[in-house]
């Protein structure tokens, strides 16, 4: 069974997913960060493939991508770094990235390579839903790789249901109309939207992402969905870390325990 599906079968709520950009802060941190995240209790990890022009990202992830590319991160190197990670890591791991580097690598080869490395799913924000359905769904299914779709406050109910029907794994609920980044507290408009989606009683579990940064926002997200995804706040934490293991541990601690 795909590890993503298994996770949602065994854990009903408070699922914590963490995003980080591969090759940041140091080129070869990928394996260590993965390991520390698992040890600290993260349930799921999204490893970002850095891209020169990350359109849907705010300043923090833009910066991490730029640093990672300057450090020399490439797709080839990422797959080398991920060659043996399944010896130690058993939580689900997804790759998240923009479509162009994937197309250049060759999407078939890419999906095959993901499966061979033990990757469970992909998030490709600029691969349109329709394009995926028409061209790539059989390829992903063949390799047991989940493609995770996004929905936003502007996504119509009809489209949410269409995405739910086609989806498998989970649905990535973007918390507000915005690029990625730390935003502070949640507002009523956001919780109304979370409630609306919750009331749809979708087949797939949802995780809320974009703007989740601390205990409060994480808890709020968990009230309306199975859990949440943290990116920019985590990147800020590891940026100048002298002890990744320790800092990752305390970051996850303070996210999940009340002050």
Partner 1 sequence: MSKYKVDENGYYGNYGGAYIPELLYPNVEELKEAYLRIMNSPDFIQEFRHLLSDYVGRPSPLYFAKRLSEHYKTKIYLKREDLNHTGAHKINNTIGQILLAKRLGKTRIIAETGAGQHGVATATVCALMGLECIVYMGEVDIQRQAPNVARMKLLGATVVPATCGSKTLKDATNEAIRDWINHPENTYYIIGSVVGPHPYPDMVARFQSIISEEMKQQLKEKENNEYPDYVIACVGGGSNAAGAFYHYLDHPEVKLIAAEAAGKGIHSGHSAATSALGKPGIIHGSKTLLMQTEDGQIVEPYSISAGLDYPGVGPVHAHLFETGRAEFISITDDEAVKSAFELCQLEGIIPALESAHALACLSKLNFKPDEVVVINLSGRGDKDLSTYMNFLK
Residues near partner 1 (CB under 8 A): 51-53, 55-56, 58, 62, 66, 69, 74-76, 98-105, 125-129, 131, 149-152, 154-156, 159, 174, 177-179
Known catalytic residue: 126?
Answer: no
User: C-beta of 219: minimal distance to partner 1 in Å?
Assistant: 25
Output 100 or 253, the one with its CB closest to partner 1. Answer: 100
User: Residues 43, 46, 120, 164: which is the catalytic one?
Assistant: 46
Output 88 or 157, the one with its CB closest to partner 1. Answer: 157
Residue 55: CA count within 13 A, CB half-sphere: 7
Query: Exposed, middle or buried, 199 (CB in 10 Å: 0-12/13-18/19+)?
Result: exposed
User: C-beta of 38: minimal distance to partner 1 in Å?
Assistant: 28
Output 37 or 127, the one with its CB closest to partner 1. Answer: 127
User: C-beta of 121: minimal distance to partner 1 in Å?
Assistant: 16
Known catalytic residue: 158?
Answer: no
Tell me the backbone φ, ψ of residue 225, rounded to 5 degrees.
Answer: -150, 180
Q: Encoding tokens for residue 246?
A: 């320790």
**C-alpha span between 74 and 81 (Å, rounded):** 10
Per the DSSP assignment, residues forming a β-bridge with 123 are 96
User: Residues 39, 43, 53, 57: which is the catalytic one?
Assistant: 57
User: C-beta of 107: minimal distance to partner 1 in Å?
Assistant: 11
Output 20 or 98, the one with its CB closest to partner 1. Answer: 98
Output 114 or 174, the one with its CB closest to partner 1. Answer: 174
Provide the sign of the torsion angle of the four alpha carbons 87, 6, 214, 187, taken in this order: positive
User: C-beta of 50: minimal distance to partner 1 in Å?
Assistant: 8
For residue 78, which of 125, 159, 21, 4 has the smallest C-alpha distance? 21
Q: Which residues are catalytic?
A: 46, 57
């Amino acid at each position: 069974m795909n590890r993503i599906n298994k996770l949602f079968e065994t854990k009903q709520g408070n699922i914590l997913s963490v995003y980080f950009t591969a090759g940041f802060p140091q080129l070869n941190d990928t394996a260590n960060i993965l390991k520390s995240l698992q040890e600290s209790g993260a349930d799921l990890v999204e490893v970002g493939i850095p891209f020169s022009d990350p359109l849907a990202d705010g300043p923090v992830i833009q910066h991490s991508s730029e640093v990672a590319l300057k450090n020399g991160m490439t797709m080839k190197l990422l797959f080398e770094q991920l060659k043996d990670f399944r010896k130690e890591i058993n939580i689900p791991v997804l790759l998240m990235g923009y479509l162009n580097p994937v197309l250049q690598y060759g999407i078939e080869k890419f999906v095959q390579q993901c499966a061979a490395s033990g990757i469970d799913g992909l998030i490709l924000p600029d691969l349109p839903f329709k394009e995926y359905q028409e061209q790539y769904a059989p390829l992903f299914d063949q390799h047991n790789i989940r493609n995770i779709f996004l929905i936003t406050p502007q996504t119509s109910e009809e489209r949410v249901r269409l995405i739910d029907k086609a989806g498998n794994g989970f649905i990535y609920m973007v918390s507000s109309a915005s690029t990625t980044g730390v935003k502070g507290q949640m507002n009523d408009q956001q919780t109304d939207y979370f409630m609306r989606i919750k009331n749809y009683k979708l087949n797939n579990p949802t995780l809320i992402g974009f703007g989740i940064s601390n205990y409060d926002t994480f808890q709020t997200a968990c009230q309306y969905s199975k859990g949440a995804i943290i990116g920019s706040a985590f990147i800020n934490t590891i940026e100048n870390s002298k002890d990744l293991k320790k800092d990752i541990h305390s970051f996850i601690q303070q996210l999940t325990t009340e002050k």
